[in-house]
Amino acid sequence: MNFSELFRQTSQLCKFSPDGKYLAAVVEFRLIVRDVDTFQIQNLYSCLDTIQCIEWSSDSQFILCGLYKRGVVQVWSIEQPDWNCKIDEGSAGLCGVHWSPDGRHILTTADFNLRVTVWSLITKSVSYIRYPKQCQKAIDFSSEGKYMALAERRDCKDFVSIFACSNWELVKHFQTDTDDLAGIEWSPDGRVLGVWESPLCYKILVYSVDGRCISKYSAYENALGVKSIAWSPTSQFLAIGSYDEKVRILNHITWKTVAEHSHPAILDCSNVVVYKEVETRAPLPPGDNIDAPTATLFTPQSKFEVQQGDIKLPITKPDINKANPKIGVGMVAFSCDCKYMYTRNDNMPGTLWIWDIRRLALCTVMILNSPIKSVKWDPHQARLAVATGTSKLYMWSPAGSLSVEVPVEGSFNVQGLLWHTEGNTILLMSKDQMCRNVGFGNFKAPSVTFNKKVYNGYSS
């Protein structure tokens, strides 16, 4: 693995362009666009104030910067650096901004979700959509860019409006069977829309584009419900993580559960590969005057050991007196080939569960020493990158797991991860710095200790 030098960034506001040629990174009020191959600066833009969000247009020709404190959006052109556009919401304020799928319209959400405004960069026309709901995910576009779904709240009732992105005309408007809608999400094939209720009630609804309720699912009542959802890339499965520490998988034909996976505190390793992180530390040399480069040579090194028998997993007791308790499945996502799925139970923050979708069974568990901060699938193969807020990068594939110390000067604790669109580069981000990792290809499984013998990956 090859790591670049460190570069500055702010609030992990870094994004690769959809065409994979550029990396945009924010440093306070400046937007820096770098060439992905050389990491040289291609363009440098200065905004009016601190940048809160950035987003590329679908064709990678433009990039917008949201300046929420000023209620302003600034748009920059990559091919024409002298061109720029400024959108000012004025007294209405700004709390969200999105590109439309065509890359020529911008949608802004006013403070307190008073309205959504559609701005055209071509005709300079402006359209308003009233009653957007303030929730976890109120706007979502279908994968082919044909429709936009918007969650609304009118007269104390929840609604969904479907708009055609070609002309922004209303296609369908219907009321949802929810008391407090929490979010909406299109299936990857764009055929159905998933709608879920707030955590106070376990309810998942599936609607067609014409507003018909195809399915209604509720696993239990009178307890905290849905915490996270994820569609499989093929749209065949819908995974639902909930506060009862289980993930349930619905199929797209009957919309019934095909699997229900729990996250037990005591794990039987007989049919599961369990990797546990073990740290080793070299003894420090004598003397107190050790310079920083020398001290880095004696930092703890970690490796994975394969466990046998029954394993008791580390658990963090949630604070029941605080809102949004850290319990339940808060992370769930499928691999690009739909063969694997990972989950994280929030009261087991250092444990990553990896499930084999073909067998609908648990295949691997990774037990890390620090709470997991970020997990990302490779966009082209079944490979995971994991960050825990330490100086290490963790990787998993069906071949095995490994831990890599990021070889940079000074302190660099990996808080966030971002894969390149081609899957050959991964960006590592700390609180205010970033570095690039390239050239790891299809990594081989490291040697791991298993019952005092050495094996590779899953071999036994």
Q: Each residue of 233-288: pLDDT tens digit?
A: 999 999 999 999 999 999 999 999 999 999 999 998 888 999 999 988 666 666 66
Distance CA 60, CA 54 (A): 13
Is the four-CA dihedral 18, 22, 23, 27 of positive or negative sign? negative
Distance CA 325, CA 99 (A): 33
pLDDT at residue number 323: 78
Distance CA 158, CA 391 (A): 45
The tokens for 54 are 């950035």
Check: CB of residue 110 under 8 Å from CB of residue 127: no
Residue 112 backbone phi and psi in degrees, to 5:
60, 15
Residue 307 backbone phi and psi in degrees, to 5:
-95, 155
The tokens for 399 are 């071949």
Q: Number of C-alpha atoms within 13 angstroms, CB side, residue 161?
A: 16
Distance CA 325, CA 345 (A): 12
Percent of the chain with pLDDT over 90: 84
Q: Is 91 helix (H, G, I), strand (E, B) or coil?
A: helix
pLDDT at residue number 456: 37
Q: Calculate the alpha carbon distances from 97 to 81, 231, 344 in Å.
A: 22, 24, 29
Q: Which of 56, 108, 60, 112 is nearest to 86 (CA)?
A: 108
For residue 319, the Cα-to-chain-centroid distance in whole angstroms is 25
pLDDT at residue number 282: 63
pLDDT at residue number 298: 60
Whether 90 is in a domain gets the answer yes
Check: CB of residue 122 under 8 Å from CB of residue 104: yes
Whether 452 is in a domain gets the answer no
Residue 167 backbone phi and psi in degrees, to 5:
-135, 0
Question: Is the pTM here over 0.75, yes or no?
Answer: yes
**Beta strand 170-175 pairing with 453-456:** unpaired
Whether 391 is in a domain gets the answer no
Check: CB of residue 239 under 8 Å from CB of residue 247: yes
Q: What angle do CA 441, 443, 445 make, to 5 degrees?
A: 170
Check: CB of residue 84 under 8 Å from CB of residue 74: yes
Whether 36 is in a domain gets the answer yes
pLDDT at residue number 291: 64
The tokens for 117 are 């405004």
Whether 329 is in a domain gets the answer no
Give the domain CATH number at 41: 2.130.10.10
Cα end-to-end distance, the chain, whole Å? 27
Whether 405 is in a domain gets the answer no
pLDDT at residue number 454: 33
Number of separate domains in the chain:
1
Distance CA 232, CA 258 (A): 14
Write 368-375 long-range contacts (CB < 8 A, 24+).
368/277, 368/394, 369/277, 369/279, 369/302, 372/331, 372/344, 373/414, 373/415, 373/416, 374/414, 374/415, 374/416, 374/417, 375/331, 375/333, 375/342, 375/344, 375/417
Whether 112 is in a domain gets the answer yes
Distance CA 360, CA 358 (A): 6
Ranges under pLDDT 70 in the chain:
281-299, 439-460
Whether 260 is in a domain gets the answer no
Tell me which residue range forms the domain holding 73: 1-130
What is the overall mean pLDDT for the chain?
91
Check: CB of residue 400 under 8 Å from CB of residue 456: yes
